[in-house]
Amino acid sequence: MDETLSLSVVVPTRNEAESVDALVSSLEPELAARAAEVIFVDDSDDETPDRVAECSLTAALTVRLLHRRPEERAGGLGGAVVEGLRQARGSWVCVMDADLQHPPATVARLLEAAEAKDLDLVVATRFRDGGSDGGLGALRRAVSRGSAAAARLLFPRRLRGVSDPMSGFFLVRRSAVELQRLRPNGFKILLELIVRSSFRAVGEVPYAFAERHAGESKASLREGARFLVQLVRLRKPEATGRLARFAVIGLSGLVVNEALLALLTERARLYYLAAAVISTQTAILWNFALTERWVYARRNCQFDLKGRLVAFCLVCTTAQLLTIPILYLLVDSVGAPYLVANLFAIAASTLVRFSIAERLIWKRPPSVT
């Protein structure tokens, strides 16, 4: 391993052929005075690897390409970053996007801050004075702020002093990362790093998030779902399987609800609002029975069956009400399409119902010591 390098810049790429050249050219003057390398960890199906290979021949910097074949792309973006960290030869590793939303000039500032204050991690933040998230639309901004708030709620101690835990732009001391502890899953690799490492000192440097240089966004609803699973996995690893079963039961309840509503309205000729009340209540009972049998079958609970049933009905009804203001906020204030907003609202209400199920309804009796 070449320990003389001071910095490795790790750039995860997926179909960014039009940005590679521009990124390397902008990094060159910034890193000229440093012994630095740029590592592209690439999961592309376009000509990105060809562009990187061309750059490696002409650039003034050392440019390396780690191309992952389709069957090697575990963990998506996060998996790519971990692979980059594993292969990096610099004592510092800066992770940044390829699309120039992360200004190359900020890389040197991150490094200066890390060296001056002897930090293990420096996060480039959009949310401190001098920073901005101007490149984001209203919906993305709301999702970004909402997920940062959720993460802060779950990890208040670890995220103290980190205003932008969703940032994809940061610099880390390579020796402070415990690679074998990481379980990357999608976009939010910084949160994974912070929660699973023991960084001594963490700092932040503000920057202005720019517009995408070229190509298409890879952010998606799937990434949103991955983030929710990641939160549970980080906070309560043993609950991930239960959450998955809980969510599947919720979906099956939706089917029961719709089918019964159609049946009662069309066949039994019931007024549709009366039919809706009956089908909603039946779906809640269905969900309860399945949750009892499939999620908490072997659990010794503090409350008896009747208590659990009453609490579950109450929580479900309240959670259903909760989706309305979330829906309103996302559609009216943020301008999200109502069908997308509804999915977010349902996901949020499922998480709330699950955490109440875990902590209260199917709570274990207090242990006697």
Long-range pairs, 301-305, Cβ under 8 A, ≥24:
301/362, 301/363, 301/364, 301/365, 302/363, 302/364, 302/365, 302/366, 303/361, 303/363
Provide, rounded to whole angstroms, the least separation between the CB of residue 10 and ligand GTP: 10
230 part of the interface to ligand GTP, by CB under 6 A: no
Q: Which does 77 bind (CB under 5 to 8 A by kind): Mg ion, ligand GTP, none?
A: ligand GTP
Pairing relation of β-strands 7-13 and 92-95? parallel
Q: Which does 80 bind (CB under 5 to 8 A by kind): ligand GTP, Mg ion, none?
A: ligand GTP
12 part of the interface to ligand GTP, by CB under 6 A: yes
Candidates 72-80, 171-179, 243-251, 275-283; binding stretch for ligand GTP (CB under 6 A): 72-80
10 part of the interface to ligand GTP, by CB under 6 A: no
CA-to-CA distance for 142 and 334, rounded, in angstroms?
A: 7
Q: Which is nearer to ligand GTP, 146 or 265 (CB)?
A: 146
77 part of the interface to ligand GTP, by CB under 6 A: yes
The only residue of 101, 185, 197, 257 in contact with ligand GTP, by rule CB under 6 A: 101
CA-to-CA distance for 303 and 203, rounded, in angstroms?
A: 46
Provide, rounded to whole angstroms, the least separation between the CB of residue 98 and ligand GTP: 4
The only residue of 30, 37, 43, 164 in contact with ligand GTP, by rule CB under 6 A: 43
Q: Which residue type sits at 105?
A: A
DSSP annotation of 124? E
Name 44's Cβ contacts closer than 8 Å, sequence gap at least 6.
Answer: 13, 14, 15, 16, 17, 67
DSSP string, 81-110: HHHHHHH--SSEEEE--SSSSS-THHHHHH
Candidates 91-99, 145-153, 291-299, 356-364; binding stretch for ligand GTP (CB under 6 A): 91-99
Total residues interacting with ligand GTP, rule: CB under 6 A: 19
Provide, rounded to whole angstroms, the least separation between the CB of residue 16 and ligand GTP: 5
The only residue of 13, 106, 185, 230 in contact with ligand GTP, by rule CB under 6 A: 13
168 part of the interface to ligand GTP, by CB under 6 A: yes
38 part of the interface to ligand GTP, by CB under 6 A: no
DSSP annotation of 366? P
CA atoms within 13 A of residue 42's CA, in its CB half-sphere:
24
The only residue of 158, 188, 218, 226 in contact with ligand GTP, by rule CB under 6 A: 218
Provide, rounded to whole angstroms, the least separation between the CB of residue 69 and ligand GTP: 12
16 part of the interface to Mg ion, by CB under 5 A: no
16 part of the interface to ligand GTP, by CB under 6 A: yes
Edge-to-edge strand order for the sheet containing 202-206? 62-67, 36-42, 7-13, 92-95, 170-173, 121-125, 202-206
Within its chain, how far is the Cα of 68 from the centroid? Answer: 22
3-class DSSP state for residue 183? coil
229 part of the interface to ligand GTP, by CB under 6 A: no
> Are the beta carbons of 221 and 176 closer than 8 angstroms?
no
212 part of the interface to ligand GTP, by CB under 6 A: yes
Candidates 76-84, 93-101, 176-184, 259-267; binding stretch for Mg ion (CB under 5 A): 93-101
The only residue of 99, 120, 192, 358 in contact with Mg ion, by rule CB under 5 A: 99
DSSP annotation of 227? H
101 part of the interface to Mg ion, by CB under 5 A: yes
The H helix count followed by the E strand count for the chain is 11, 7
E strand or H helix at 142, and its extent? helix 138-154
CA atoms within 13 A of residue 178's CA, in its CB half-sphere:
8
165 closest CA partner among 178, 183, 152: 152
Question: Which parts of this chain interact with ligand GTP (CB under 6 A)?
Answer: 12-14, 16, 41-43, 76-77, 80, 97-99, 101, 168, 212, 217-219
Question: Which parts of this chain interact with Mg ion (CB under 5 A)?
Answer: 97, 99, 101
